[in-house]
Chains A and B, each alone.
Chain A
């Protein structure tokens, strides 16, 4: 089978376009299914969060809320945006900079009992720096003017 140069070029371009289309579809699909949304404890309380997919919450670790189970690895703590609170359970070793009263971001799912099961806990990176998500949660709570329940000291 002999093809003319023009046909060959057309073939090449067509194959290229089809492959690029496939790549675009792959990338966008992967992107869509791996996006993780961020919510504040207030939104969790109101039930505005997805039921079966994971998401991130941010805020401060409520003072005196950190408790360890006997295995030494499972921890319970409470994340607050100063208006509402979310209880969190996490099995694993907490990051170096995790501290009560300081900013934190957790990724995971919320169970039927309202307990947030974290698969990942991220803390801020230095003394002066707050994770943007945690700062955002505090800001939103403040804007809504409902920060009367719990104030971290």
Chain B
């Protein structure tokens, strides 16, 4: 009964989405206020209906109803409750429902927080989001219905893929999707602006907080995914350039470019067409990401479903959305008009360079991800492009971007002078060069890559310190008053940039100084790595809710003093008879000690892998700082103030 309620409300949601996707847009074109007025109630109704469907599916999982195919395929009665709920998005159909759910959340959020927008603009934005929603709900109802019945019912479910039975599964996909789908708001703003021909500074100002929020979620999602892979896969890696990771990294790169280009459009009125194009690309890449991950075209831990009909549907959907919006862009962009002029050396130029570098980086990831698929699809052979390609490409593309990051925020809008910039930044430059040369020597290992990474990280830190010093100079008021006088969005930028520096520091140090060994260990054996002694105390059997585990114990000492104990596990998930490695990690700000069990060998010996990962936690700390910077920028007073002011002046507001 409950699954039918879910199915039925999904059908109703499709009808509501159709209304949302047509009447308000037509109404906006014809100036029909009644039709435009349909947008907000429709957005709310759609949210309610999809929420009912979503809760129905979650309830079906929680109540272990194995007469529903999707539940039987992705859950099991031994699975703990939190994973039974998370299993809602453990497979293809439910992930789509999560996608639609999150899209309806963003849609209703826009309808609630857009009272200051002109009616036609709001109607178009909500309408475009409704059209996207139509595509996704139609997809579910036609080829991947999560509520489809299984008759006769299965006695028990086939279980959630053991790789996904982890707290990461509860948070990572919803966060990532909040980011992915969040770019639909920027996309809808861009399409609405193209439709209405109203591309001005106000448009950029309105879509900025939405874009920042989506970017923030995507950053947190990527951080969570990377951290999850680090402890779950047992290889000690934190990024694998796996196609699925790339699928979520491309929207992040383009989204980052979009945030910066929106800033220019708002402040200076330049880059209008480019900003619109980036908004379209960011969302298109999000859709492509969904397609790559969810259609089973990839050899990847994330691709569980293989069904050509679904692939075709998404392909057609992609062609309509991307082709349609790019077509609209080609048609309407020439009418956008030019923005403010700027000289070759100016903040605009630095931001443009940053944008181009990010876009090229995103393109290089796209090439490495899609080209092997194209070759395969055309029957021209199977190739793979591994991490070496991405590593080779990324360093030279990101190095100039990071260097410019130190200069951009200091340069003046419109026109800046190079000699003056050089004068102002000479100390920062000197400090970072000296650090980059001396620090690795102290640590005992210098390579050009370590030098470059450290230089860039300290360059960003030093220029940020200089910037903050400049901003807070003066003695009339107390320091706290001066700190408060600076807008929060500026602090947000500084902290996000420092996050990049912390991230770069982590990547550089872990890549340059990490070490690992793989050894055969009998109980009592001692392995040595990075000055630590790892004593293997043998393996004990333990029992989990739906798995049996061999739990190893490694006592870590340094110069005879006990430092920590690592407890890596080898689990066997009984339902699917699938072994899993659970790493034993001792995280620390200076370095992680990391061990994972290989296979049992003869005489009670095990193969054991031990890793020393200096400063690896800084990678995620940097991401967290970036996200926090985004949060600060969002809490800037001007967004709330403007809303209030605009609301008051709504009746006689004229949109230029």
Interface residues of A (CB under 8 A from B): 5, 8, 11-12, 16, 19-20, 23, 26-27, 30-31, 33-38, 56, 68, 71-73, 92-94, 96-97, 125-127, 129, 131-133, 136
Number of B residues, CB within 8 Å of A: 47
Which of B43-51, B382-390, B501-509 interfaces with chain A?
B382-390
Within 8 A of A (CB), among B576-595: 576-581
Within 8 A of A (CB), among B587-626: 598-599, 601-602, 605, 607, 609
Inside 8 A of A31's CB, which chain B residues have their CB?
367-368, 371, 385, 389, 393
**A35 interface neighbour in B304, B349, B383, Cβ under 8 Å:** B383
Q: Give complex CA distance A23, B605 in Å.
A: 51
Interface status of B518 (Cβ within 8 A of chain A): yes
Interface status of B265 (Cβ within 8 A of chain A): no
Q: Give complex CA distance A5, B344 in Å.
A: 10
Assess whether A97 is in contact with B579, with CB atoms less than 8 Å apart.
Answer: yes
Interface status of B397 (Cβ within 8 A of chain A): yes
Q: Give complex CA distance A36, B397 in Å.
A: 23
Assess whether B343 is in contact with A8, with CB atoms less than 8 Å apart.
Answer: yes
Inside 8 A of A96's CB, which chain B residues have their CB?
234, 578-581
Q: Give complex CA distance A11, B602 in Å.
A: 70
Inside 8 A of B599's CB, which chain A residues have their CB?
93-94
Question: From A19, which residue of chain B is reached at the shortest CB distance?
Answer: B356
27 CB < 8 A contacts A-B: A8-B343, A12-B349, A20-B360, A26-B393, A27-B393, A30-B388, A34-B386, A34-B388, A35-B385, A37-B381, A37-B383, A38-B383, A38-B384, A56-B384, A71-B520, A72-B601, A73-B518, A73-B520, A92-B518, A93-B518, A93-B598, A93-B609, A94-B599, A96-B234, A96-B581, A126-B161, A127-B576
Interface status of B163 (Cβ within 8 A of chain A): yes
Known contacts A23-B397, A36-B383, A73-B518: A94-B598 contact under CB 8 Å: yes
Known contacts A30-B393, A97-B579: A16-B598 contact under CB 8 Å: no
Interface status of B519 (Cβ within 8 A of chain A): yes
Other A-B contacts than A23-B397, A36-B383, A37-B382, 19 sampled, CB-CB below 8 A, are A8-B344, A19-B356, A26-B396, A27-B367, A30-B392, A31-B367, A35-B385, A36-B384, A37-B381, A71-B520, A73-B518, A73-B520, A73-B607, A92-B518, A93-B609, A96-B581, A126-B304, A133-B382, A136-B382
Within 8 A of A (CB), among B22-61: none
**A27 interface neighbour in B344, B364, B579, Cβ under 8 Å:** B364
Inside 8 A of A92's CB, which chain B residues have their CB?
518
Within 8 A of A (CB), among B329-382: 341, 343-344, 349, 356, 360, 363-364, 367-368, 371, 376, 381-382
CB A26 to nearest CB in B, in angstroms, measures: 6
Interface status of B299 (Cβ within 8 A of chain A): yes
Q: Give complex CA distance A19, B353 in Å.
A: 10
Q: Give complex CA distance A11, B343 in Å.
A: 11
Inside 8 A of A129's CB, which chain B residues have their CB?
304
Inside 8 A of A68's CB, which chain B residues have their CB?
601
Interface status of B417 (Cβ within 8 A of chain A): no
Interface status of B5 (Cβ within 8 A of chain A): no
Assess whether B384 is in contact with A73, with CB atoms less than 8 Å apart.
Answer: no
Assess whether B389 is in contact with A72, with CB atoms less than 8 Å apart.
Answer: no
Assess whether B382 is in contact with A38, with CB atoms less than 8 Å apart.
Answer: yes
Assess whether A38 is in contact with B381, with CB atoms less than 8 Å apart.
Answer: yes
Q: Give complex CA distance A35, B388 in Å.
A: 9
Known contacts A34-B385, A38-B382, A72-B520: A127-B607 contact under CB 8 Å: no
Q: Give complex CA distance A133, B382 in Å.
A: 8
CB A144 to nearest CB in B, in angstroms, measures: 16
Q: Give complex CA distance A91, B580 in Å.
A: 20
Q: Give complex CA distance A129, B302 in Å.
A: 12
Assess whether A97 is in contact with B578, with CB atoms less than 8 Å apart.
Answer: yes
Q: Give complex CA distance A14, B136 in Å.
A: 44
Inside 8 A of B301's CB, which chain A residues have their CB?
125
Which 9 pairs, one residue from A and one from B, show the smallest C-beta to C-beta distance? A72-B520, A93-B598, A34-B389, A38-B382, A30-B392, A72-B601, A96-B579, A34-B388, A27-B364
Question: From A72, which residue of chain B is reached at the shortest CB distance?
Answer: B520
Q: Give complex CA distance A68, B605 in Å.
A: 13
Q: Give complex CA distance A33, B393 in Å.
A: 12
CB B415 to nearest CB in A, in angstroms, measures: 11
CB B85 to nearest CB in A, in angstroms, measures: 21
**A30 interface neighbour in B161, B343, B389, Cβ under 8 Å:** B389
Question: From B360, which residue of chain A is reached at the shortest CB distance?
Answer: A23
Known contacts A8-B343, A72-B607: A125-B163 contact under CB 8 Å: yes
Known contacts A37-B382, A125-B301: A20-B356 contact under CB 8 Å: yes
Question: From B389, which residue of chain A is reached at the shortest CB distance?
Answer: A34
Q: Give complex CA distance A36, B231 in Å.
A: 28
Inside 8 A of A11's CB, which chain B residues have their CB?
344
Inside 8 A of B385's CB, which chain A residues have their CB?
31, 34-36
Inside 8 A of A33's CB, which chain B residues have their CB?
392
Q: Give complex CA distance A97, B577 in Å.
A: 10
* Interface residues as binary, B300-311 with A (CB distance below 8 Å gives 1, 0 otherwise): 110010000000
Q: Give complex CA distance A19, B359 in Å.
A: 13
CB A111 to nearest CB in B, in angstroms, measures: 21
